[in-house]
Structure formats: structure tokens, C-alpha cells
A and B are shown apart, each in its own frame.
Chain A
Amino acid sequence: SYELTQPPSVSVSPGQTAIITCSGDALPKQYAYWYQQKPGQAPVLVIYKDSERPSGIPERFSGSTSGTTVTLTISGVQAEDEADYYCQSPDSSGTFWVFGGGTKLTV
């Protein structure tokens, strides 16, 4: 079955840049999406279609793609960015959706 692979954890100091990767074979053919989830809360969309930022999401959040890997970059990380981050994408047939295992960002 199709899988998306993320590092389990990333740790940065405030003001630094956090980089979270997500790898999957179908990513060259399908868009990727990123969600932020804080404890006890529902996920929030932070990046869609690889690199687009929804309204209300700070500019320090950005996304990029290269081959089978997509990347979420958080520049100038703030304490409030501490959360779990999930990448998500449809499989190549577009008939089921997959989430990565999640990356815990510690600030």
C-alpha cells in the first residue's frame, strides 16, 4: 500500500528554521498538503498544492517539492509553532488519501 514517510521529530530553537520532509512515490504526480495539529485540537491546513498558503497562515510557513520529496519549511520558528505536522496526498489513482506518520516539532 502507498505510504508517505516523515521524520518522527524535529527540534529547533526559537528564531531558527525548521525543515520537515515527506517522501512518497506518487508525489511527483500528486499534490501534497500539510496540516498542523496541536494537542487536543483538530488539524489545521497550513500548505496546499505543494506550496500554496491558505489565508490566515503566517508567511513563515512555506512548501516546496523536488521529485518524490516535499518539504515544509517554517522560517523564524516561534514557540506557538510547536505541534505535530502531517503531510497528506492522494495515491496515484486518486481513490484513496494517505497521511504521513507525522512529525513532532519541538521549539
Chain B
Amino acid sequence: AQRVTQPEKLLSVFKGAPVELKCNYSYSGSPELFWYVQYSRQRLQLLLRHISRESIKGFTADLNKGETSFHLKKPFAQEEDSAMYYCALSGYGGATNKLIFGTGTLLAVQP
């Protein structure tokens, strides 16, 4: 079954510390993976996608097909990074534009 797993509900770090938000997936085909972010009182928005191989706001994520992971990383966390982060998988159900979301990880960056 297609599934996205984010094992941590909450990740608390100090400003300047490295951050790694874990995401593992289960998918039988070739998935597209995304990270979405939701800042306090704001709507969900796309942070980055694996096919772009880009760095957004200092965050990067590499798709590891062997480990079926797509962890989100940032070397030095900032207070403004505090938000809810959702890992998402596209391509399930035979439709390439449908998304299945993980349960989310709340990142709290302490001053």
C-alpha cells in the first residue's frame, strides 16, 4: 500500500542547530516526493520537490530509493523555520497528481 511515514510528531531544536525531518515512503512505482510547510495561521504551501533538486530557504531533501526516504535537512535552523512540515507522495492510485500526506512533524526552533 502507498504510505508516507513521518515518525516524529515534534522536533525541537535550538537556533543554529542542524535539522533533519524524517520521511519514509512506501510506493510500488516511481514516486514523486514533496515537502509542504504550514506556518502558524497560514495555508499549506509547497516547500520543495525532489525532481527539482533545489534548495529552498536553506532546506534540501534527497530522494533515497534504496532506503525509501526523503528526509528534509537544514544545516542551521532559524526561528522562522518553526512550522508544521508535511511530506507528501504523488502518483498513487494511478493518477500522477494525487497526493498522499504524512502525518506531519512540528518543528519548533528555540532561541
- Binding partners A and B: no
| B contact set with A: CB distance below 8 Å | none
- Which residues of A are in contact with B by a Cβ distance under 8 Å? none
